[in-house]
Amino acid sequence: MMTGLQANHFNAGYPRKKIITDLSIPRLSRGEITVLLGPNGSGKSTLLRSLAGLNHATGELLLDGQDLMKQPFAQRAKSVVYLPQSLPAGVHLHVLESIVVAQRASGGSQTEKGEAEVMALLQQLGISHLALSYLDQLSGGQKQLVGLAQSLIRQPSLLLLDEPLSALDLNYQFHVMDLVRKETIKRNIITVVVVHDINIALHHADHVLMLQSGKLIADGKPDEVITPESLAQVYGVRGRIERCSQGRPQVLIDGLVEHPMS
Ligand SMILES: Nc1ncnc2c1ncn2[C@@H]1O[C@H](COP(=O)(O)OP(=O)(O)O)[C@@H](O)[C@H]1O
Ligand SMILES: [Mg+2]
């Protein structure tokens, strides 16, 4: 059987506005991190929400050969988890409770084993000291880490993370990407992450999708997709990709592409 995620002629948007048009993704493999890149407003959040069944969409979306578009929402929600850019505010729940709720909602165990799993996850994320803090009293970055814990505990096959690093300091950005990679491999899941930092994509992604105005304009390995040409086309910047002293590719931005008309 063909495992992984495939999209064919996928369209998504809002009642009066098509955003994602005729998008086809040949394959995202299990055990791999895909970074979704694209400028503001290019449709990244719309695409992720649509993959999760949270936005209107048409087309075919195959997860291990099964069409998610044909599944009732409750069934689809068992295999697909979407972590939004910002968590809903004002929930007066303990961190620990909120993760246990997520665990039970997805049919997870209600036993001591289940609790041990939650505590182990908090430890891995470096937030076990926050277990008894209230969600509405956390910093933005702490909330993102809790959101990640809530997503992972639900044991999805397809994990969709919308800008999970935006409120994190440098140390945690690296830590979270490293953890997401390890969990993606260990759980053999398909992870799609929106990040803005091109260097994070170069270092941590197995696969990169580049979106522009709702269209997929590049799809492949990071160093195939992230090129001076695509950076100019999609972001309007003049960039170089050079090897650092340790041999890893780095993006350097020299300026903006000059438009003769402006
Ligand atoms: N609820 C909505 N109703 C109508 N249009 C929306 C809605 N949410 C987003 N859009 C529009 O969809 C386009 C893509 O937005 P979005 O998917 O949030 O982009 P990105 O995440 O790449 O910044 C934008 O033009 C935005 O204005
Ligand atoms: Mg977005």
Residue 118: per-residue pLDDT: 92
| Ligand 1 geometric centre to CA of 16 (Å) | 12
Cβ neighbors of 123 (< 8 A, separation 6 or more) are none
Ligand 1 contact, 17 CB (< 6 A)? yes
| Ligand 2 geometric centre to CA of 223 (Å) | 23
In angstroms, rounded to a whole number, what is the distance separating the alpha carbons of residues 41 and 241?
25
pLDDT digits 0-9 by tens, 99-131:
998 998 877 666 777 888 999 999 999 999 999
Ligand 1 contact, 37 CB (< 6 A)? no
Residue 195: per-residue pLDDT: 96
The ligand 1 atom nearest the CA atom of 49: 17
Domains parsed from the chain with CATH numbers? 5-226 (3.40.50.300), 227-262 (no CATH)
Both tokens of 48, joined, read 């992720």
Which residue's alpha carbon is nearest to atom 9 within ligand 1? 46
| Residue located via tokens 């968590």 | 87
Residue 3: per-residue pLDDT: 94
Ligand 1 contact, 245 CB (< 6 A)? no
- 47, with CB counted inside 10 A (0-12, 13-18, 19+), is buried
Which residue's alpha carbon is nearest to atom 26 within ligand 1? 41
| Ligand 1 geometric centre to CA of 40 (Å) | 9
Both tokens of 9, joined, read 């002629």
Ligand 1 contact, 49 CB (< 6 A)? no
Q: Which ligand neighbours the alpha carbon of 21 most closely?
A: 1
pLDDT (tens place) for every residue of the chain, 262 residues total? 689 999 999 999 999 999 999 999 999 999 999 999 999 999 999 999 999 999 999 999 999 999 999 999 999 999 999 999 877 666 788 999 999 989 988 776 667 778 889 999 999 999 999 999 999 899 888 999 999 999 999 999 999 999 999 999 999 899 999 999 999 999 999 999 999 999 999 999 999 999 999 999 999 999 999 999 999 999 999 999 999 999 999 999 999 998 755 4
Residue 252: per-residue pLDDT: 96
Ligand 1 contact, 18 CB (< 6 A)? no
| Ligand 2 geometric centre to CA of 36 (Å) | 10
